[in-house]
Chain A
Amino acid sequence: MTYAELNLLFLIPVAALLFFFRYLVRWRKLCWTVTALVIMTAIFDNFIVGSGIVAYNPDTLSGAFIGFAPIEDFAYTLVAAVLVPLTWWWLGSRQSKTRKGK
Protein backbone atom coordinates (compact mmCIF):
# COMPACT_ATOMS: atom_id res chain seq x y z
CA MET A 1 0.00 0.00 0.00
CA THR A 2 1.31 3.47 -0.81
CA TYR A 3 1.44 6.32 1.69
CA ALA A 4 -1.27 8.17 -0.30
CA GLU A 5 -3.59 5.14 -0.16
CA LEU A 6 -3.06 4.81 3.60
CA ASN A 7 -3.88 8.50 3.98
CA LEU A 8 -7.19 8.08 2.14
CA LEU A 9 -8.30 5.60 4.81
CA PHE A 10 -8.08 8.49 7.30
CA LEU A 11 -8.93 11.48 5.09
CA ILE A 12 -12.22 10.04 3.83
CA PRO A 13 -13.76 9.34 7.27
CA VAL A 14 -12.64 12.78 8.51
CA ALA A 15 -14.15 14.44 5.43
CA ALA A 16 -17.37 12.53 6.15
CA LEU A 17 -17.33 13.77 9.77
CA LEU A 18 -16.81 17.33 8.56
CA PHE A 19 -19.83 16.96 6.27
CA PHE A 20 -21.97 15.35 8.94
CA PHE A 21 -21.13 17.96 11.58
CA ARG A 22 -21.03 20.92 9.15
CA TYR A 23 -23.62 22.75 11.29
CA LEU A 24 -20.89 23.15 13.95
CA VAL A 25 -18.25 24.56 11.61
CA ARG A 26 -17.13 28.18 11.55
CA TRP A 27 -15.67 28.08 8.06
CA ARG A 28 -13.55 31.22 8.16
CA LYS A 29 -11.87 30.12 11.39
CA LEU A 30 -11.35 26.64 9.97
CA CYS A 31 -9.76 27.98 6.77
CA TRP A 32 -7.31 30.16 8.71
CA THR A 33 -6.45 27.28 11.04
CA VAL A 34 -5.74 24.99 8.07
CA THR A 35 -3.57 27.69 6.48
CA ALA A 36 -1.57 28.28 9.68
CA LEU A 37 -1.04 24.55 10.22
CA VAL A 38 0.05 23.91 6.62
CA ILE A 39 2.70 26.64 6.91
CA MET A 40 3.93 25.34 10.28
CA THR A 41 4.07 21.77 8.94
CA ALA A 42 6.09 22.85 5.91
CA ILE A 43 8.71 24.29 8.28
CA PHE A 44 8.69 21.58 10.96
CA ASP A 45 8.47 18.61 8.59
CA ASN A 46 11.43 19.90 6.61
CA PHE A 47 13.39 19.95 9.84
CA ILE A 48 12.49 16.39 10.91
CA VAL A 49 12.84 14.87 7.43
CA GLY A 50 15.92 16.90 6.51
CA SER A 51 17.70 15.99 9.75
CA GLY A 52 16.84 12.31 9.28
CA ILE A 53 14.63 11.91 12.36
CA VAL A 54 12.06 10.21 10.15
CA ALA A 55 12.69 8.32 6.92
CA TYR A 56 10.45 6.89 4.19
CA ASN A 57 10.41 3.96 1.83
CA PRO A 58 10.65 5.85 -1.50
CA ASP A 59 8.63 3.14 -3.28
CA THR A 60 5.54 4.12 -1.26
CA LEU A 61 5.76 7.88 -2.01
CA SER A 62 4.19 9.78 -4.89
CA GLY A 63 7.42 11.70 -5.43
CA ALA A 64 5.91 15.15 -4.77
CA PHE A 65 7.85 17.02 -2.09
CA ILE A 66 7.80 20.43 -0.45
CA GLY A 67 11.50 20.81 0.21
CA PHE A 68 12.41 17.53 1.95
CA ALA A 69 8.86 16.86 3.13
CA PRO A 70 6.76 14.37 1.17
CA ILE A 71 3.43 15.93 0.23
CA GLU A 72 1.67 12.94 1.85
CA ASP A 73 2.74 14.13 5.31
CA PHE A 74 0.33 17.05 4.94
CA ALA A 75 -2.58 14.62 5.33
CA TYR A 76 -1.74 14.57 9.07
CA THR A 77 -1.96 18.36 9.07
CA LEU A 78 -5.34 18.37 7.37
CA VAL A 79 -6.75 15.79 9.78
CA ALA A 80 -5.43 17.72 12.81
CA ALA A 81 -6.73 21.04 11.47
CA VAL A 82 -10.22 19.55 10.94
CA LEU A 83 -10.60 17.03 13.76
CA VAL A 84 -9.32 19.19 16.65
CA PRO A 85 -11.56 22.19 15.81
CA LEU A 86 -14.55 19.91 15.13
CA THR A 87 -14.12 18.23 18.53
CA TRP A 88 -13.58 21.61 20.22
CA TRP A 89 -16.80 23.02 18.70
CA TRP A 90 -18.75 19.84 19.40
CA LEU A 91 -17.72 19.93 23.08
CA GLY A 92 -18.66 23.63 23.16
CA SER A 93 -22.10 22.93 21.69
CA ARG A 94 -22.70 20.22 24.31
CA GLN A 95 -21.68 22.55 27.12
CA SER A 96 -24.04 25.29 25.98
CA LYS A 97 -26.87 22.73 25.70
CA THR A 98 -26.24 21.58 29.28
CA ARG A 99 -26.24 25.17 30.48
CA LYS A 100 -29.56 25.82 28.74
CA GLY A 101 -30.99 22.64 30.27
CA LYS A 102 -30.22 23.78 33.80
Chain B
Amino acid sequence: MYGSYLVILLLSLVGLYLLDRTHKLAFTVDPKRAFLSMVPAFLVFVIWDIAGITLGIFFRGNNTLLTGIQLFPEFPLEEVFFLMLLCYSTLIALTWISKVLNKK
Protein backbone atom coordinates (compact mmCIF):
# COMPACT_ATOMS: atom_id res chain seq x y z
CA MET B 1 0.00 0.00 0.00
CA TYR B 2 1.19 3.51 -0.86
CA GLY B 3 3.28 5.06 1.91
CA SER B 4 2.96 2.11 4.29
CA TYR B 5 6.73 1.88 4.86
CA LEU B 6 6.73 5.40 6.34
CA VAL B 7 3.84 4.43 8.61
CA ILE B 8 5.71 1.30 9.77
CA LEU B 9 8.82 3.37 10.55
CA LEU B 10 6.88 6.01 12.49
CA LEU B 11 4.96 3.37 14.47
CA SER B 12 8.25 1.64 15.30
CA LEU B 13 9.71 4.93 16.56
CA VAL B 14 6.64 5.50 18.74
CA GLY B 15 6.94 1.92 20.03
CA LEU B 16 10.56 2.53 20.99
CA TYR B 17 9.60 5.73 22.78
CA LEU B 18 6.97 3.81 24.76
CA LEU B 19 9.62 1.26 25.79
CA ASP B 20 11.89 4.17 26.69
CA ARG B 21 9.18 5.68 28.89
CA THR B 22 8.00 2.44 30.49
CA HIS B 23 11.48 1.33 31.50
CA LYS B 24 12.99 4.82 31.99
CA LEU B 25 15.86 4.19 29.59
CA ALA B 26 17.16 7.07 27.46
CA PHE B 27 15.09 10.14 26.47
CA THR B 28 13.01 9.78 29.58
CA VAL B 29 16.11 9.95 31.79
CA ASP B 30 18.43 12.38 29.97
CA PRO B 31 16.99 13.78 26.71
CA LYS B 32 20.07 15.81 25.80
CA ARG B 33 22.46 12.89 26.24
CA ALA B 34 20.05 10.57 24.38
CA PHE B 35 19.75 12.95 21.43
CA LEU B 36 23.46 13.75 21.20
CA SER B 37 24.48 10.09 21.44
CA MET B 38 22.70 9.40 18.14
CA VAL B 39 23.94 12.42 16.16
CA PRO B 40 27.39 11.15 15.06
CA ALA B 41 26.05 7.75 13.95
CA PHE B 42 23.13 9.36 12.12
CA LEU B 43 25.42 11.74 10.20
CA VAL B 44 27.83 8.92 9.32
CA PHE B 45 24.91 6.89 7.93
CA VAL B 46 23.69 9.79 5.78
CA ILE B 47 27.19 10.16 4.27
CA TRP B 48 27.45 6.37 3.85
CA ASP B 49 24.06 6.22 2.08
CA ILE B 50 24.91 9.09 -0.25
CA ALA B 51 28.26 7.43 -1.06
CA GLY B 52 26.52 4.10 -1.78
CA ILE B 53 23.90 5.77 -3.96
CA THR B 54 26.51 7.86 -5.83
CA LEU B 55 28.59 4.73 -6.49
CA GLY B 56 25.46 2.93 -7.73
CA ILE B 57 25.69 0.17 -5.09
CA PHE B 58 22.14 0.50 -3.77
CA PHE B 59 19.13 2.52 -4.76
CA ARG B 60 15.48 3.01 -4.11
CA GLY B 61 13.47 -0.06 -5.06
CA ASN B 62 10.64 0.26 -7.49
CA ASN B 63 7.53 -0.32 -5.44
CA THR B 64 4.37 1.08 -4.00
CA LEU B 65 5.30 0.96 -0.29
CA LEU B 66 7.24 4.23 -0.54
CA THR B 67 5.71 7.70 -0.69
CA GLY B 68 7.94 8.55 -3.66
CA ILE B 69 9.24 11.71 -1.96
CA GLN B 70 13.01 11.94 -2.49
CA LEU B 71 15.39 14.23 -0.60
CA PHE B 72 18.20 13.54 -3.08
CA PRO B 73 17.99 11.37 -6.18
CA GLU B 74 17.45 7.76 -4.94
CA PHE B 75 17.42 8.94 -1.28
CA PRO B 76 13.80 8.58 -0.15
CA LEU B 77 12.27 10.57 2.68
CA GLU B 78 11.78 7.26 4.50
CA GLU B 79 15.54 6.73 4.76
CA VAL B 80 15.80 9.57 7.31
CA PHE B 81 13.33 7.79 9.56
CA PHE B 82 14.97 4.42 8.95
CA LEU B 83 18.32 5.83 10.10
CA MET B 84 16.66 7.39 13.14
CA LEU B 85 15.09 4.00 13.90
CA LEU B 86 18.45 2.24 13.59
CA CYS B 87 20.12 4.70 15.98
CA TYR B 88 17.24 4.79 18.47
CA SER B 89 16.90 0.95 18.46
CA THR B 90 20.58 0.76 19.32
CA LEU B 91 20.23 3.24 22.16
CA ILE B 92 17.19 1.47 23.60
CA ALA B 93 18.90 -1.94 23.30
CA LEU B 94 22.01 -0.58 25.03
CA THR B 95 20.22 1.20 27.86
CA TRP B 96 17.82 -1.69 28.42
CA ILE B 97 20.62 -4.28 28.44
CA SER B 98 22.62 -2.02 30.77
CA LYS B 99 19.72 -1.74 33.15
CA VAL B 100 19.18 -5.51 33.25
CA LEU B 101 22.90 -6.27 33.71
CA ASN B 102 23.32 -3.59 36.39
CA LYS B 103 20.51 -5.12 38.42
CA LYS B 104 22.28 -8.50 38.60
A81 to B90, CA, bound (A): 6
**Contact at A33–B65, with CB atoms within 8 Å?**
no
* Complex-state Cα separation, A10 to B34, whole angstroms: 23
Looking at chain B's contact residues, the main secondary structure is helix
Q: Which residue of A is nearest B55, CB measured?
A: A1
Q: Nearest B residue to A56 by beta-carbon distance?
A: B58
Tell me if A's interface is mostly helix, strand, loop or mixed. helix
* Chain B residues within 8 Å of chain A by Cβ, number: 38
B44 close to A36 (CB less than 8 A): no
The residue in chain B whose Cβ has the minimal distance to the Cβ of A30 is B94
A83 and B89: CB pair below 8 A?
Answer: no
Q: How many residues of A contact B (CB 8 A)?
A: 37
Cross-chain contact A33 with B57 (CB below 8 angstroms): no
Is B59 in contact with A55, judged by CB distance below 8 angstroms? Answer: yes
Q: Of B51, B55, B94, B97, which is within 8 A of A84 by CB?
A: B94
Kindly state whether residue B21 has any CB partner on chain A within 8 Å. Answer: no
Which B residues are within 8 Å of any A CB, using their own CB?
5, 33-34, 36-41, 44-45, 48, 51-52, 55-63, 65-66, 78, 82, 86-87, 89-91, 93-95, 97-98, 101
